[in-house]
Amino acid sequence: MHVLVAVLNWGLGHATRSIPVINQLLQRQVNVTVGSDGAALHLLKQEFPHLRFVELPAYKVTYPAHGSLMFNMIVQLPHLRKIIQQEQTQVQHLINQLQITHIISDNRYGCYGASIPSVIITHQLRLLFSGVWNIAAAVMNASLRMALNKFTNVWVPDFAPTGITQPFTGNVKTPHRFIGMLSRFSPVTSNPLNDTLILGLVSGPENQRTLFEQNLLAQLTRLNQPAVIVRGLTHTEEVRVQNGVELINHLPSQDLEELVINASVVIARSGYSTIMDLYCLGKRNVILVPTPGQTEQEYLARFLKEKKIAVVQNQEQMNIEEALQMLPACTGFSANKKKNLLKEALDEFLI
């Protein structure tokens, strides 16, 4: 048995949530090859230095610093379709060359085999639109259904149809299975060791990654209390101090987990992979700043704000000092200890 795990390089979330999947495959002593590109590929090489890796075509999607994100994404669709076709051609070659028997794809729509079991991990069975872009919903979601139907199975990283992903999965005809939230971290019950440390987690595509980091650094500098920013840059593990704030380009999973556990406050994007990590660790004090114009992150942030789980601020009006004062009114994330749905799904998939 030889499994190809194909991971999207779009921020680091897809790579980090693939770690528990790869770990479970290795526990079964399955032959694993990992395919990705860019920062995601680099991170996974650090986590699994002894595995075989292949570089897949880069999607190279960028977020605009200003203007409509949705318009920007529509403009990039022809490029994305071309890359997906290239990726499918390469995957067919890998199936023959490496004798791949199964494929697990995290949001890479060209990574499937017509003659072998292929599963895609995604919570986006329906794309969310807002404002004038609602008119594009029918066409875009029809294309998404066609792409998902090329896979043998669709796995959703959530616990139930009524979970946080419900707007993306509810009343969708595409058959799918819930496999539980995926996190590279392990559930903990300990309290933070540093009751003053503020941790900023920066991630996501450019240019918004840099804009978020710059805003975060400026505000943490003014607070004049212990602060660390993990920049989400995997090419080097450089560490430096700027204006009293420690800047760390990247940390291995175990070191990052320890830092998140020990921090009193975590400031991060409201990406779904980040939210799964926060649920897993049961973090109490969290400030979320969705990527401007990214409908999914804005929805997730709004959901958590309405549930009074985390403080949510827009990037343009971000005020950390004010957000810190609002944290006592939030409950924080609760660690979920439900049964291992991923294990059950893999048991059936790998038959």
Q: With cut-offs at 50, 70 and 90, classify the pLDDT of residue 131.
A: low
Whether residue 317 is found in the same domain as residue 344: no
Show the tokens assigned to 57: 């075509």
Whether residue 211 is found in the same domain as residue 173: no
Domain that holds residue 313: 198-329
- For residue 241, give the CATH number of its domain: 3.40.50.2000
Whether residue 206 is found in the same domain as residue 176: no
- Reply yes or no on whether the pLDDT at 190 is more than 70: no
Which carries the bigger pLDDT value, residue 63 or residue 115?
Answer: 115
DSSP, collapsed to helix, strand or coil, labels residue 53 as strand
Q: What digits encode the pLDDT tens for the residues 297-337?
A: 999 999 999 999 999 999 989 999 999 999 999 999 987 66
Nearest to 204 by CA among 184, 182, 229, 233: 233
Whether residue 6 is found in the same domain as residue 47: yes
In a domain, 321, yes or no: yes
In a domain, 191, yes or no: no
Sheet holding 118-121, edge to edge: 52-55, 31-36, 2-7, 102-106, 118-121, 153-156, 177-178
Whether residue 140 is found in the same domain as residue 257: no
Whether residue 255 is found in the same domain as residue 280: yes
pTM, full prediction: 0.86
Chain centroid, CA 27 distance in Å? 23
Report how far residue 236's alpha carbon sits from residue 246's, in angstroms, rounded to the nearest whole number.
15
* Number of separate domains in the chain: 2
- b/e burial code for range 89-111 (CB count within 10 A of at least 16 → b): ebbbebbeeeebbbbbbbbbbbb
Q: Tell me the C-alpha to C-alpha distance, in Å, between residue 298 and each of 195, 219, 308, 312.
A: 29, 22, 15, 9
Q: What digits encode the pLDDT tens for the residues 209-246?
A: 899 999 999 999 999 899 999 998 877 778 999 989 99
Q: What digits encode the pLDDT tens for the residues 30-59?
A: 999 999 999 899 999 999 999 999 999 998
Q: Strand 245-248 vs strand 227-230: parallel, antiparallel, or unpaired?
A: parallel
Whether residue 43 is found in the same domain as residue 153: yes
